[in-house]
């Protein structure tokens, strides 16, 4: 049995932006292993890992190479008390198949990816270990070969479980606000609701703060969120968003004139001036995006409950077009994108009227 005074052994599967940031924050308070790819880990092996808060200067922590275990192999989970899965949602099943053979029965596994079903995918691939979902509310940018900066604020949420207490304590000691949730599915739905902004920001190409200060782009997000709220409510889920504004009111807040929005939405605007979304970063690097588990998931739920989500469907199409176009992709202005999404609404309304005749 592990002594209460023994540092928790935490293995991070998927040492990308979020995984490296979490590992760096936790390393002074836990025995941390980062599992990732050589192109990420090799520079850290050479000079160590630096993590910064969203203001970049007040809260900066450097972790020397010897303070971390860095490996490309999942065998390290043999010794782990907690496994944090931080891969892209689409890589969950493959990553789970790699670490599951080494997992000790009873080791807590926490899925920290975007989307609604990543923890379910992990659960399907492991036996004898508890699996809970979690939510990372903030964005993390890689600002240098070994530097990872948190560009927005928020509180980590994880599903309630008897084994989660020690992890919560370590998160708190490391300076990461964190707490458990009785209804983590509602929190996951709330995160999807907020992440619907990612595609709009990525399509515009503007930094997050500039995008959020553009009323037409906020209106685009609001339409997506309104479709999501209707679908989620019809499916029996009331989303919990990690801000003071209730989920049902969020689209109305986004539609407000910008001077009013900036006063009422201080929490939403707590982002670095140059911060971007993970979807924007994926498009910039030529990687597949997660739009299918965001606007795409809203469209699937809407169809399941007998509704339509034409705007979310159109956003999925536009993001996939951007993926194929690469560097030549279109950068949409707020007015252009809003007009395009309203046309999608209009076409869907006309089709619905014609079908009802």
* Average pLDDT score over residue span 303-310: 96
Question: Is the confidence at residue 1, as pLDDT, over 50?
Answer: no
Mean pLDDT of 46-59: 79
Q: Is 48 left (phi over 0), alpha (psi -120 to 50) or beta?
A: left
pLDDT beyond 90 at 353: no
Whole-number percent of the chain with pLDDT over 70: 96
pLDDT at residue 3 tops 60? no
Q: What is the pLDDT of residues 339-349, one digit of tens each?
A: 999 999 999 98
- Rounded Cα distance between 327 and 347, Å, is 30
pLDDT at position 54 is: 63
Instruction: Please say if the pLDDT value at position 309 is more than 50.
Output: yes
How many Å is the maximal CA-CA distance in the chain? 71
- Going by pLDDT thresholds of 50, 70 and 90, the confidence category of residue 56 is very low
Q: How far apart are alpha carbons 336 and 318 in whole angstroms?
A: 12
Lowest mean pLDDT among 53-57, 95-99, 169-173, 325-329: 53-57
pTM exceeds 0.85: yes
Of the pLDDT bands very low, low, confident and very high (cuts 50, 70, 90), residue 277 is: confident
- Domains along the sequence of the chain with CATH: 9-182 (3.40.50.720), 185-356 (1.10.1040.10)
From residue 11, alpha-carbon distances to 126, 240, 277 in Å are 16, 28, 25
Mean pLDDT of 53-79: 86
Q: What is the mean pLDDT of residues 36-61?
A: 86
Compute the average pLDDT of residues 35-54: 94
pLDDT tens string 166-211: 999 999 999 999 999 999 999 999 999 999 999 999 999 999 989 9
């Amino acid at each position: 049995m592990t002594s209460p005074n023994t540092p928790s052994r935490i293995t991070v599967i998927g040492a990308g932006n979020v995984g490296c940031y979490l590992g760096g924050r936790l390393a002074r308070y836990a025995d941390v292993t980062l599992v990732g790819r050589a192109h990420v880990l090799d520079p850290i092996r050479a000079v160590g890992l630096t993590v910064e808060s969203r203001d970049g200067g007040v809260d900066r922590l450097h972790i020397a190479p010897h303070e971390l275990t860095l490996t490309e192999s999942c065998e390290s989970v043999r010794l782990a008390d907690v496994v944090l899965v931080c891969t892209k949602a689409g890589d969950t099943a493959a990553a789970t198949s790699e670490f599951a053979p080494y997992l000790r029965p009873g080791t807590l596994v926490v899925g920290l990816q975007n989307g609604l079903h990543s923890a379910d995918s992990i659960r399907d691939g492991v036996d004898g270990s508890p699996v809970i979902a979690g939510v990372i509310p903030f964005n993390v940018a890689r600002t240098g070969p070994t530097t990872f900066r948190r560009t927005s604020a928020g509180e980590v949420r994880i599903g309630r479980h008897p084994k989660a207490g020690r992890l919560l304590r370590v998160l708190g000691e490391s300076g990461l606000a964190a707490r458990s949730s009785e209804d983590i599915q509602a929190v996951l739905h709330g995160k999807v609701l907020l992440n619907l902004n990612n595609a709009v920001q990525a399509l515009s190409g503007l930094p997050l703060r500039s995008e959020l200060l553009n009323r037409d782009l906020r209106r685009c997000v609001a339409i997506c969120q309104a479709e999501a709220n209707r679908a989620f409510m019809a499916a029996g889920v009331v989303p919990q968003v990690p801000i003071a504004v209730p989920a049902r009111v969020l689209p109305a807040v986004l539609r407000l004139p910008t001077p009013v929005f900036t006063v009422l939405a201080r929490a939403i605007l707590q982002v670095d001036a140059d911060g971007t979304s993970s979807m924007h970063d994926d498009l910039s690097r030529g990687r597949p995006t997660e739009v299918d588990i965001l606007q795409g998931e809203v469209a699937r739920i809407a169809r399941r409950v007998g509704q339509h989500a034409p705007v979310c469907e159109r956003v999925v199409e536009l993001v996939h077009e951007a993926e194929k176009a690469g560097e030549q992709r279109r950068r949409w202005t707020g007015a252009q994108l809003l007009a395009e999404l309203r046309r999608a609404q209009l076409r869907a309304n006309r089709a619905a009227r014609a079908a009802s005749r």
